[in-house]
Structure 1
Amino acid sequence: MFFYDKDIELGRVDDNTLRKVLSYGDGLMNTLVVFEKGLAPDSVIPYHKHVHVQTTYVLKGSFKFSIKYPDHTDTNEVHVGDTIYFPSNLEHGCIPLEDDSRLIDSFNPIREDFL
């Protein structure tokens, strides 16, 4: 199955974030996430969790990411070309550090709530 960029619109997630579902099927989904404005590095990280396993690729800009493990919280700054793995059901969040920062997120299984 082919997914053409010209046919897929960015949807607004919140005041600062846009998302586009790039492709999906048979248990795998890829999305583009665009953050319009960078935020202060000491901002509160908006934690969330989901049953999906997730990988993230930093396409543009830089981010401060945190993952809350049962015994500790791992926080790191990531830049273009870096990747992150998020196990299922662990709280995680990020702060974009530059305007127009972009991520490619992949999920297994697909995020039905994004369709």
Structure 2
Amino acid sequence: MPVLKYNETPAHQVKEGVNRKLLYLNDLMTVIIDFTNGPWDEPDAPHSHPHEQTCYLAEGEIIFICEGEPDQILKAGDMFSVPSNKLHTIQLLSKTARLVDSFNPIRRDFI
């Protein structure tokens, strides 16, 4: 589907307080992730994947943690990127947050 209307698209619950919505083509995926379970006392477990990733923080406040880089406190309007196979994670500082991730190639594990 070439259009995702936010209020008309059901979310997939990843875990309690974390929901995502997907839009994708053959080689590019955009994922809206809504968090309602913050703030967190600790960061989520670090992970890596072969996909290149960019992220726009549309709402909320997080700490972005990426292997080999200083931790960054990010607020709405900020962005980050993650190269392939680099360990990274976030820690939610606000009660809610919305991240808009883009992946290349697409995350087949999300479909």
Runs of 4+ that moved beyond 6 A: none
Q: Which structure has more strand as a fraction of its residues? A: 1
Q: CA contact under 8 A between 2:16 and 2:37: conserved in structure 1?
A: no
Of 45-54 and 7-16, deviating more is 7-16
**What are the residue-to-residue correspondences of 1:1-115 with 2, within 5 Å?**
2-5=2-5, 6-21=7-22, 23-40=23-40, 43-68=42-67, 72-115=68-111
Gaps of 5+ in 1: none
- Distance, in Å, in 2 between the alignment partners of 1:113 and 1:61 is 26
Q: Deviations for 1:21-65, whole angstroms, at most 9, x for unmatched residues?
A: 1x211310001001112224x513321110000000000011011
Q: Given the two structures, how large is their TM-score scaled by the length of structure 2?
A: 0.90
Gaps of 5+ in 2: none
Tell me the amino acid that sits aligned with residue 95 of structure 1: Q
Number of aligned positions between the proteins:
110
Q: Deviations for 1:7-31, whole angstroms, at most 9, x for unmatched residues?
A: 521111112311111x211310001
**Matched-pair identity in %:** 33
Deviation at 1:74, TM superposition (A): 2.5
Q: Given the two structures, how large is their TM-score scaled by the length of structure 1?
A: 0.87
The Cα RMSD (Å) is 1.6
Deviation at 1:92, TM superposition (A): 0.4
Tell me, what secondary structure is at the counterpart of 2:81? strand
